[in-house]
Structure 1
Amino acid sequence: MSQAAITPKTAPFSLSPLTPTIGAEIGGIDLSKPMDSAMLASLREALLEWKVIFFRDQDISTEEHLAFARQFGELEVHPFAPHKEGYPEVLAITHNRERPGKENKWHSDVTWRECPSLGSVLRAVEVPDVGGDTLFSDMYAAYDGLSDEVKEKIDSAVAIHDFAHFRTMMQKLGKTPEEIEEMNRRYPMVEHPVVRTHPETGRKGIYVNVAFTQRIVGMDKVESDTLLAHLYAQAAVPEYQCRFRWRKNSIAFWDNRACQHYAASDYWPAVRKMERVTIIGDRPC
């Protein structure tokens, strides 16, 4: 970020960082109300600086959730995940005794798309008394922490991303080979840079993840798997992370271009209900 990057002293709202580099809690804002251009610009700047921003006590409707996210861009419809009835743009993420949590892998959302997500806005509808936190990891810091030798290997490399997990899910749900092939045609494997240059900040960050990245182009399997394992492991470094403890009506808004996240599945058999809206981004470069 530039010297004009937003800080707790310059923000037009209260801003409390969770760590030195990632995560900040925003206060003094009602997300149910439309915002003027100056407030939106300040929130966007906070997002770019802190990679994920959090809001508490936002008792907003689904329509207001959608309206807030739309102020930052067009919204996507996820082709595989369940959506809230009547709202195709809203993912309904519910876990309970019968459906244990399963998002406990470090990832950036929908990197199997040609134009992956700019950001995601997640709202807590019902959360456990204890557990179910979400962790976020700063991919700029992860890249900066690599050795020069590794940076040299990956700075111009590209990797293949695929929706393999959802393909397996479709098979388990009894989808026909024809239905699965139609999804393969609609969402073919894509190549994205291993190191992404953020389109707004110009900073470099690791852009491979264990959920959707398959291999690095031009490397044999052993070399690719070894290098990817090293890159994946960077998300788990505590110095690059923040951790958010949810309460009902809390909201997290994260930049998928700059961070990865991990939903801790430590709350079974308690109920955890979340709703997510995702903003379409551009093609990584």
Structure 2
Amino acid sequence: MYEGRRTLRRVPDGWEDRPYELFTLVPQGRLIGAEIRDIDLRGPLPPELREELNRALLEWKVLFFRGAHLTSQEQADFARHWGELETNPLLARGTSSEVARFDKSAVPTFENVWHADVTFRERPALGAVLQLREVPPTGGDTMWADMAAAWDNLPEEVKSRIDGATAVHDFLPGFRRFYGPERLAPLQDAFPPVEHPVVRTHPETGRKMLFVNTSFTTHLTGMPREESDRLLAYLVRQAHVPEYQVRFHWQEGDIAFWDNRATQHYAVDDYFPHRRVAERVAIAGDRPF
């Protein structure tokens, strides 16, 4: 049980927290999540605007753009300002191999679990840009959690156990409930299990972040399985803490752009039998260290 006030550091100690000059930023919480207003996401971003948006992403971890209504191509072009786009053969394809389409209605899909995207890859995604094409009349929110805050508030004895430890990530736990063995078997060669640090260092801010999740982390390496299971269960629960979270209620045409290195997210499946359609592009990342 946790008692007392949690440490909620939005930016690293010593970070110069400057005002934004090229758009209006409206915080959605004290720690994580901000709405960006007064910019047009279509077309090339001037370097100074891209730089300021990147600073906002680092400081707030997930950015929201209301009523963007981008085409799939415009959405992909916006994401490319942050690097090469990745493809994911495990997901339904949209208008191109770089656009994943989530058409959620009666068929259960990737919801109801806290996770970071594609941590089963050697180079998990830097971030993702998600747009809602169709929204249900109620429900269908998405939540994000700040995993640097999760690290900050761990007990010191837990920090000492996991700082420097590694864990195995595998795509099978997250996907076997959706696909049969005949589809999954060929992909096991393409996506073998990988090891990542349990505590990741952000390559741009230098902050330490908890880097394990329910969907893809199977066990901590070099640890008896029972001990690993117990410790991993405790660690993945840290994303559930409300003080580390922001919740976004979608409208059609809204966009969320999140730092996949620093966050986990959870799509809330509370709108059946209504339909929810989204398209996502993901930006290739670096190898965690």
Instruction: Tell me the TM-score range normalised by the shorter chain.
Output: over 0.9
- Tell me the equivalent position of 1:94: 103
Q: Structure 2: how far apart are the matches of 1:199 and 1:145?
A: 21
RMSD, aligned α-carbons: 1.3
Match of 2:246 in 1: 242
Q: CA deviation at 1:231?
A: 0.7
Residue number in structure 2 paired with 1:160: 168
Paired residue for 2:137?
Answer: 129
Residues 98-117 of structure 1 correspond to what in structure 2 (within 5 A)? 98-117=106-125
Equivalents in 2 of 1:169, 1:244: separation in Å?
A: 26
CA offsets 1:175-208 (integer angstroms, 9 cap, x no match): 3xxx71x322221100000000001100001000
1:22 aligns with 2:32: yes
Deviating runs (4+, > 4 A) in structure 1? Answer: none
- State the shift of 1:221 in Å: 1.1
TM-score by length of 1: 0.94
Query: What secondary structure sits across from 1:284 in the alignment?
Result: coil
* 1:5 corresponds to which of 17, 26, 29: 17
Q: Do the aligned partners of 2:201 and 2:208 also contact (CA within 8 Å) in 1?
A: yes
Q: Which runs of 5+ in 2 are unaligned?
A: 1-11
**Offset at residue 101 of structure 1 (A):** 4.7
The equivalent residue for 1:141 is 149
For 1:238 and 1:128, the matched residues in 2 are separated by 24
Q: How far, CA to CA, are the matches of 1:128 and 1:166 in structure 2?
A: 25
- Matched-pair identity in %: 50
1:16-46 residue CA offsets vs partner (Å, 9 max, x unmatched): 1111110000001111132100000000000
**Secondary structure of 2:205's aligned partner:** coil
Partner of 1:47: 57
Q: Which amino acid letter does the alignment assign opposite residue 163 of structure 2?
A: D
Are the counterparts in 1 of residues 109 and 178 from structure 2 also a CA contact under 8 Å?
Answer: no
- The count of corresponding residues between Structure 1 and Structure 2 is 276
Provide the rounded CA distance (Å) in 2 between the counterparts of 1:82 and 1:229: 30
Aligned-partner residue type, residue 88 of structure 1: S
- 1:76 aligns to 2:86 (yes or no): yes
Deviation for aligned residue 1:166:
2.5
Q: Report the CA distance between 1:10 and its aligned residue.
A: 2.9
The TM-score normalised by the length of structure 2 is 0.92
Using the TM superposition, give the Cα deviation of residue 59 of structure 1 relative to its aligned residue in structure 2, in angstroms: 1.5
Please state whether the residue corresponding to 1:34 is helix, strand or coil. Answer: coil
1:120 touches 1:256 (CA, 8 Å); kept in 2? yes
Map 1:126-275 to 2 at 5 A.
126-164=134-172, 165-167=174-176, 169-171=178-180, 174-175=182-183, 180=185, 182-275=186-279
Contact 1:101 1:265 in 2 (8 A): no
Deviates more, 1:102-111 or 1:163-172: 163-172
Aligned partner of residue 102 in structure 2, secondary structure: strand
Using the alignment, how far apart are the partners of 2:72 and 2:163 within structure 1? 41
Q: Is the 8 A contact 1:101 1:268 kept in 2?
A: no
Mapped to 2, the partners of 1:33 and 1:242 lie a distance apart of 29
Stretches of structure 1 that go unaligned for 5 or more consecutive residues are none
| Residue in structure 1 matched with residue 45 of structure 2 by the alignment | 35
Q: Which moved more, 1:267-276 or 1:182-191?
A: 182-191
How far, CA to CA, are the matches of 2:109 and 2:101 in structure 1? Answer: 13
